[in-house]
Structure 1
Amino acid sequence: MTSPLPPDGARLDHFVSQTAFDPDVVEKLTPAQERIYLASQLRLMWWKFRRHRAAVISGIFLALLYASILISEFLAPYNLESRNVNAIYMPPQSVHLFHEGAFIGPFVYGTKFELNMETLKREYTADTSQVQKLRFFCRGDRYRFWGLWESNAHLFCPAEGGNVFLLGTDRLGRDVLSRIIYGTRISLTIGLIGITVSFILGISIGGAAGYYGGWVDHIVQRIIEVLQSLPSIPLWLALAAIMPVTWSPILVYFGITIILGLIDWTGLARAVRSKLLSLREEEYVVAAELMGASPVRVIFRHLIPGFMSHLIASATITIPTMILGETALSFLGLGLRPPVTSWGVLLNEAQNINVVALYPWLILPVVPVILVILAFNFLGDGLRDAADPYH
């Protein structure tokens, strides 16, 4: 029931005081309506986000993946550089539970190989007489956890005197699964560091252009147009190629992250600029300026929080671009270099089509790349829909 209009000459505040508590005039909210009307913006976003099933599953998957990089050494069955000269280019082994009808538990069969003198290819066959039961929460290869202290604890290990290569081995007899797990730490963190650099530049430069306008906006717009007109891959290659070959892998790692951040800030800067152009004339902004707030405080304290949800959604879409950039550079040999291990470095070993034809498991590092990119895209869609007040 709608409230009646106040009579002519009546004071509005007197009318409100008389009708605000009149049960015949004001419709009482139901518990469900009250729950919605009194909810905060973040709670409303969470309720809408939960309805996006693909985004929720993607968020859980990414959370688990980022949590795994904290204990990569523990999850990997072998050390990063552990080699087995008797298992070069060994294909993936299958995990079995039953042997000759009896339940054994997770195990793999032993292998034996012979060299094919016609193709010079190692041919491995399963030896069903060797049952090698997997050990869990066990002691295996020694490693330095985060380079700080030594340990040899692993989630699972091969049987004593045996081997377990669930995703096969490479040309040096190194376990592909262990190297993918170690590479996850580099490939995922390079996206976070790159997006941090990109956000700092995009919010600062785009915020200045949107808040000040005028010649500042014109200069920023021309710079953005020039950078966006350049093709990304050749620009990445040119910037990566100028890094000295004498740099350590750590310096190359930070150099790649800075390069990715310096290139990918333009889209965010334009989004921030357009938002600030529409918000800078609002009354609360004028009030903050009249109270003596500096432009930096107005931008970061009053304007940016107004569309933080949009920035979060943008971040989930930009991070996969960073990951793909590092993977492309490393795949072409201009990004990270051994001994640093990332998904791109692992794929660099699969450049030779003959090697891939003979040993197709070497291209398996592309699988986590695809899954992570899809997960970030689904998560970004969910966050964007949740942050949209008109959705």
Structure 2
Amino acid sequence: MTTPREPATQDHPPLEHSASTAPFDPYAADRLATDQGTAQATPGQIMWWRFRRHRLAFASGIFLCAIYASILICEVLAPYSLNRRNTDYIYAPPQAVHVIRDGQLVWPYTYGREMTLDMENLRRIYRDDTDDVQPLRFFCRGDPYEFWNLIPADLHLICPAKGGELFLLGTDRLGRDVLSRMIYGARISLTIGILGVSMSFALGIIIGGLAGYHGGTFDLLVQRVIEVLQSIPSIPLWMALAAIIPVTWSPILVFIGITVILGMLDWTGLARAVRSKLLALREEDYVLAAKLMGAGSGRIIRRHLIPGFMSHLIASATLTIPGMILGETALSFLGIGLRPPITSWGILLTEARSVNIIALYPWLMAPVIPVILVILAFNFLGDGLRDAADPYK
């Protein structure tokens, strides 16, 4: 006697039941579209998406774009002209900006100042006069200047009250506003980094590219020259070359000379990186195909090999510019770089060479702050670009 067969149990529920009980994913369609978009994206787009996810590097890039944009309008941003002297406020400390008065929110203002002489310590003592309220003015008329030495103008972003003074970062030994001179100095310090890197990149790509592509005797000669240059300490070499610049040169010629020195001494690391990349890429099939089609070595390097690691070059540039800025700052601080009337961050720091000056007037060290911020921003940006350009990440 056969027992009735039990209905077979289903290992998997029906499709309708599975669809009704599966958790709903509202982002599934977005992820599918993203995956399809990534598959169709160009390498530049993928690099940009990776870079945006690096928040610190992205914020550093925005900061650097803003500070480089500011050098285009530094005359407008500075409260005073570059060489404006206020002999009544020599070594004046920074002023505080207030927005609350008698418990109420008011227009930004500063207090006037009273100066007395401390004959015992031979110092000027400044005290705020709380009865002298000086409202700040924005987008106002102030010291006249020539915008980019071309257009006469007198518009400033911020100005003191009429008849008052505004020194947000204090003044120096000649009564010049430290903040205004820092803003003007950014134009020189930041520009010399860009120009120096452009020169070093041109030398590094050309010399390293030829050495890596052709090899042979030229490659051996280039490697020996690079080893000799890299074995010499940087700062003594900079000092020796900068001391060669004649004292009679104009400020513009000195600026060009310092830029050339920094660019000619910083190409060795990039040349080695380009050489190693080209040694690996010159054996690829597309290089052989270009040769068979009659392309010359210059075209192959320029159109086929260099673009293959352009992202690496961009990341290297962001890490090289800080060295240029620090080199100019060090040379100018030591007195063998740029010279007045040119103003840079290094020249401003010469005001704080003495320990006694730093102890009595610490605000003269304020130019160190933008140097540190710019160097850190370039390093963070370089790290982000390097990670975004890594094809194995």
Compute the TM-score of the two structures, normalised by the length of structure 1. 0.92
| Equivalent position to 1:81, from 74, 80, 83 | 83
Q: CA deviation at 1:281?
A: 1.0
Aligned-partner Cα distance in 2 for 1:342–1:201: 26
Partner of 1:251: 253
Q: CA deviation at 1:353?
A: 1.1
- Select the structure of larger CA radius of gyration: 2
Structure 2: gaps spanning 5 or more residues: 1-30
Q: Which amino acid aligns with 1:286?
A: L
Partner of 2:367: 365
Aligned-partner Cα distance in 1 for 2:104–2:91: 31
Partner of 1:334: 336
Q: Which amino acid aligns with 2:287?
A: V
3-state SS, counterpart of residue 165 of structure 1: coil
- C-alpha offsets along residues 144-166 of structure 1, whole Å, 9 cap, x if unaligned? 10000110000010000000100
Aligned-partner Cα distance in 2 for 1:239–1:310: 30
Q: Which amino acid aligns with 1:152?
A: D
| Equivalent position to 2:358, from 338, 356, 359 | 356
Aligned-partner Cα distance in 2 for 1:31–1:185: 45
Partner of 1:45: 47
Aligned-partner Cα distance in 2 for 1:191–1:244: 22
| Equivalent position to 2:209, from 207, 210, 228 | 207
Aligned-partner Cα distance in 2 for 1:289–1:149: 53
| Equivalent position to 2:293, from 277, 291, 294 | 291
3-state SS, counterpart of residue 174 of structure 1: coil
- C-alpha offsets along residues 77-135 of structure 1, whole Å, 9 cap, x if unaligned? 00000000000000000000122334331110000011100111000000001000000
Partner of 1:322: 324
Partner of 2:150: 148
Aligned-partner Cα distance in 2 for 1:371–1:113: 34
Partner of 2:8: none
Q: CA deviation at 1:292?
A: 1.4
- C-alpha offsets along residues 306-349 of structure 1, whole Å, 9 cap, x if unaligned? 00000000000000000000000000000001110000000011
- C-alpha offsets along residues 343-377 of structure 1, whole Å, 9 cap, x if unaligned? 00000111011111100000010000000000000
Aligned-partner Cα distance in 2 for 1:98–1:283: 71
Aligned-partner Cα distance in 1 for 2:132–2:101: 10
Equivalence map 1:93-104=2 (5 Å) = 93-104=95-106
Partner of 1:124: 126
3-state SS, counterpart of residue 336 of structure 2: coil
Aligned-partner Cα distance in 2 for 1:83–1:96: 25
Q: CA deviation at 1:30?
A: 4.1
| Equivalent position to 1:178, from 180, 186, 205 | 180
Compute the TM-score of the two structures, normalised by the length of structure 2. 0.91
Partner of 1:390: 392
- C-alpha offsets along residues 261-306 of structure 1, whole Å, 9 cap, x if unaligned? 0000000000000000000111111111111111111111110000
Q: Which amino acid aligns with 1:375?
A: A
The runs of 4+ residues in structure 1 deviating greater than 6 Å are none
The answer on 1:70 being equivalent to 2:69 is: no
Q: Which amino acid aligns with 1:307?
A: F
Structure 1 vs Structure 2 CA RMSD: 0.9
- C-alpha offsets along residues 193-222 of structure 1, whole Å, 9 cap, x if unaligned? 000000000000000000001111100000
Aligned-partner Cα distance in 1 for 2:298–2:383: 31
Aligned-partner Cα distance in 1 for 2:118–2:366: 25
Partner of 1:158: 160
Aligned-partner Cα distance in 2 for 1:140–1:102: 29
Aligned-partner Cα distance in 2 for 1:140–1:100: 30
Aligned-partner Cα distance in 2 for 1:315–1:216: 25
3-state SS, counterpart of residue 236 of structure 2: helix
Partner of 2:115: 113
Aligned-partner Cα distance in 1 for 2:112–2:165: 8
Equivalence map 1:7-22=2 (5 Å) = none
Partner of 1:304: 306
Q: Structure 1 stretch 182-191 or stretch 281-290: which is displaced more?
A: 281-290
Q: CA deviation at 1:253?
A: 0.4
Q: Which amino acid aligns with 2:161?
A: A
| Equivalent position to 1:345, from 344, 347, 351 | 347
